[in-house]
Amino acid sequence: MIGSHKTIAQDALRSALESDAAARLRNEPVVGPSTNVLRWGAATFDIGLSYSLEATDNSTFVETDRSKDLIQRPLLTLGVRVQISPRARLDFRTGVGYEDYIDNSVEDTFFIPGSELALDVRVGNAVVTFFDRFHYSQEVAERGALSGVGSFPELENVVGLRSVWNFDRWVYQAGYSHLNVFMIGDSGRGTEDFSFLERAEEQFFGRVGYNFENPVVLGIEATGNLADYEAEVQRDYYTVSAGPYLTWTAADALVIALRGGVAYTVFSGTNGFSEEEDLTSYYAGVDIDHRLTDHIRYGFSATHNIEPGISLESDYIETTRLELDIEWRMTRSLILGSLIFGEAAEEVGDAETEQYRRFGISIGPIYHVSRHFSFFGRYAFTLKDSDLEERSYRENRATIGVTYRF
């Protein structure tokens, strides 16, 4: 859904939380019931096809002179699981799609949503995971600091190692990952060159937690991050953060996760034009996932985070965000989903500082005709209010589509 991202964004912590989510996903069934599994030897497959048609009244996210467009999106998804041995499993999931703009064909492009290759190996009481995650998307609405462009052609590739040890009630986790950010091509109509955002990062993560008698895990986590930009105009930086976290699970109906701490960042000087500066801030988050009834589930999150800047010569974006999503299973075949979010943010840089607020809402049904075949629709509205001229916008977006799962 538009604007949906429930992660704290210190890059090393964000990567660690993405690894947590990916591990949970890998532990869910890749395919449907065993009688309908696609198999080839030791491998099982999950294959899907989808097509959507989307209408927008502001394809370049501008304040004035808005342009309408229709966008076609065919998409192929693939999931593969191979049980190599009783203690080792290989998982691969990927997708490839194409965005076809009816009026503004200059923005046509391929995209790769959230792909991962992961090898999980059990060693005694530990699980060691080697992974490679890559994602290529041009979504502007996901980035609050963007305005006046039709796409944000960013490719992220994260390669790393994650390990989890369980000793009695204690849980120890550690990880290292290497991130590369590439900007592919330009930003389409109203073209802006984002190549100055290309960078490499080294990310380190550690966590110690204790499982209490009740379903509560309490512990401390810490991260470190070193970023090296290709462009000399962008300031390299390193960040360290540390703080407590708590997870409470009530049966299978309610999960509450809390975390927060201090984040300290040092920005290097650039070619003598700017001096080294430091920033002391904080990150905080609460995430609630509650199955209210057999038919209604909702999630709520509130976060405060720091993430790398997007505008030229900007250092960081500090964001406070609230988000609520609700899923209502109206019948056995019909599900209605909705989301509402609000955020207040500030992007700080040498050239200028922008303060903005965003609000968004989306709602839409999914109708399952059969186990394989479903239809979906969605309406989304996003509003941005900026203190800089020509940086505000509003957008209405409507989508219909169909999905087939083999």
- In the chain, domain spans: 11-405
pTM: 0.87
Distant-in-sequence, close-in-space partners of 104: CB < 8 Å, separation ≥ 6: 59, 67, 69, 150, 188, 189
CB atoms within 10 A of CB 373: 12
Query: What topology does CATH give the domain 11-405?
Result: Porin (2.40.160)
**What is the CA angle 199-205-211, rounded to 5?**
150
Strands (E), 138-215: 154-167, 170-183, 199-211
CB-CB contact of 57 with 66 (8 Å): yes
CB-CB contact of 140 with 159 (8 Å): no
Report d(CA 340, CA 140) in Å as an integer: 17
Closest CA to 398 of 56, 62, 38, 125: 56
What integer pLDDT is reported at residue 106 of this predicted model? 82
Per-residue pLDDT of the chain (406 residues; tens, 9 = 90+): 444 444 455 677 777 777 777 666 666 544 444 556 788 888 899 999 999 999 999 999 999 999 999 999 999 999 999 989 988 999 999 999 999 999 888 888 888 888 999 999 998 888 999 999 998 887 888 889 999 988 888 999 999 999 999 888 999 999 999 999 999 865 444 446 889 999 999 999 999 999 997 789 999 999 999 999 998 888 999 999 999 999 999 877 899 999 999 999 999 876 555 678 899 999 999 999 999 999 999 999 999 999 999 988 899 999 999 999 999 999 999 999 999 999 999 999 877 899 999 999 999 999 999 989 999 999 999 999 999 999 999 999 999 999 999 8
